Amino acid sequence: MKKILSLVLAAALILTLCLSFASCNNESTTETTTESKKYTVGILQLAPHVALDAATEGFKQALIDRLGADNVSFDFQNAAGDPNTCATIASSFVSKNVDLILANATPALQAVANATIDIPILGTSVTEYGTALGINDFNGTVGENISGTSDLAPLTEQADMILSLVPAAKKVGLLYCSAEANSAYQVKVVEEYLATKGVTCKRYPFSDTNDVSAVTEKAASESDVIYVPTDNTAATCANTIGSVVRRTKTPIIAGEEGICSGCGVATLSISYYDLGYKTGLMAADILTGAKNVSEMPIQYVDTFTKKYNAEIATELGVTIPEGYVAIGN
């Protein structure tokens, strides 16, 4: 009887020890699995200007809101408008094996797309992805490791602003950087639309910042009004362009608010902060595994605001109708 009792007590002791071990092991596993993962995101911004800066800030804030400030770190690099620097920065992100890359502006996207087919890439401030990436018959989804957001505004509505604000205009100059594929795309759309309205358009492409002033002088002297699309080089040179057209009294309709604030009379523009924020939400879904970047279609901001530059409009004698919001308000 004593022997049986001893065996029972021994078995009970072994069972207690096993349960205790299992409990400790479970607690350890729980602590490991519930610990938040930390992510490193590379941000390649083409150049420092108002629109791109706002998109970057919106992107960062969305990721912080979704993942927590302690769980995401940003490796921000600005290429100062140089495509070659874009390529160098893109390669450095690949070497660091960051978890995701934000490419802010078309040349940045092109550089990153050439650098990796493995790391998820999101573009922002990119007008048309098919044009930017050389995709024929683009259907709205890039596929592979690339997706993002577009800053494409309703181009025909921007063209209508030219007709509305400068109704006597017969000659429209199209001022843009020839090195930016998406600028040429916008110019083509506006040019074709205005042709149906009986308005003559002439292109005035500049190759880089060095010839902006000279090309703007020529455009201003030969045009009743100038259209400047969402163009990164123009954005960085907006004040230079503005100094020319203010002297010649040539109004500019701009593709986005940042350019308009430096040289334009009016624009139909998106919020680049909102665009960046939308991109950040996409990034959070990719990083957490909620969505696959290859299956994500390009997204757009669906709110556009008519804005005007009060100072330049007054200086050039352009009357702004109701429905426009002054930049800065």
pLDDT in tens, 289-313: 999 999 999 999 889 999 999 999 9
Any idea what the Cα angle at residue 284 is, between residues 282 and 287, rounded to 5°? Answer: 110
- Lowest average pLDDT, out of 11-20, 33-42, 126-135, goes to 11-20
DSSP 156-188: HHHHHHHHHHSTT--EEEEEEETT-HHHHHHHH
Q: What share of the chain is helix, strand, coil (3-state, %, to 5)?
A: 50, 20, 30
* 164 and 205 co-located in one domain: yes
Handedness of CA 148, 149, 151, 155 (dihedral sign): positive
User: Are 112 and 181 in a shared domain?
Assistant: no
- Tell me: do 187 and 319 sit in the same domain: yes
Same domain? 95 vs 180: no
Question: Residue 240 has what pLDDT?
Answer: 97
Domain that holds residue 85: 39-151+271-297
Q: What is the mean pLDDT of residues 199-216?
A: 96
Looking at the fold, whether 261 and 276 belong to one and the same domain comes out as no
CA-angle at 281, arms to 280 and 284, nearest 5°: 90
Q: Are residues 235 and 317 in the same domain?
A: yes
Instruction: Tell me, yes or no, whether 86 and 225 share the same domain.
Output: no
27 or 317: whose pLDDT is higher? 317
**Tens-digit pLDDT profile for residues 281-295:** 999 999 999 999 999
Q: Within a domain: residue 83?
A: yes
Extract the tokens encoding 6: 């001893």
CB burial of residue 19 (10 Å; 0-12, 13-18, 19+) = exposed
Give 236-262 pLDDT, tens digit per residue.
Answer: 999 999 999 999 999 999 999 999 999
With a cut of 90, say whether residue 53 has pLDDT above it: yes
Question: Do 126 and 227 lie in a common domain?
Answer: no
Scored b (16 or more CB within 10 A) or e, 206-218 reads beeeeebeebbee
Would residue 264 count as lying in a domain? yes
User: Are residues 113 and 257 both part of a single domain?
Assistant: no
6: confidence class by pLDDT, cuts 50, 70, 90: very low
CATH code, 125: 3.40.50.2300
Does a structural domain hold residue 237? yes
pTM over 0.95: no
Residue 29 lies in a domain: no
The pLDDT tens digits for 71-93 are 999 999 999 999 999 999 999 99
Determine contact, residues 215/176, Cβ cutoff 8 Å: no
329 falls in which pLDDT band (50, 70, 90)? low
In a domain, 225, yes or no: yes
- Higher-confidence position of 101 and 3: 101
pLDDT at residue 212 above 90? yes
166-185 tens-digit pLDDT: 999 999 999 999 999 999 99
| 161 and 199 in a common domain | yes
Alpha-carbon distance 116 to 327, whole Å?
A: 39
Structural domains of the chain, count = 2
Q: What is the mean pLDDT of residues 206-235?
A: 96
pLDDT score at 29: 40
Confidence bin at 35 (pLDDT 50/70/90): low
User: Residue 199's pLDDT is what?
Assistant: 94
pLDDT of residue 36: 72
State residue 119's pLDDT score.
98
- CA distances for 258 relative to 85, 87, 174, 271, angstroms: 23, 26, 18, 10
Q: What is the mean pLDDT of residues 97-118?
A: 97
Q: Are residues 247 and 315 in the same domain?
A: yes
More confident residue, 201 or 35: 201
Query: For residue range 143-158, what is the model confidence (pLDDT) as tens digits?
Result: 999 999 999 999 999 9
| Interacting residues of 259 by C-beta distance below 8 A, sequence separation 6+ | 51, 228, 230, 231, 234, 235, 238, 252, 267
Whether residue 10 lies inside any domain: the answer is: no
Q: What is the pLDDT of residue 24?
A: 43
Domain membership of residue 31 (yes or no) is: no
Burial track 104-114 (b if 16+ CB lie within 10 A, e otherwise): bbbbbbbbbbe
Average pLDDT of the chain?
Answer: 90
- Do 58 and 198 belong to one domain? no
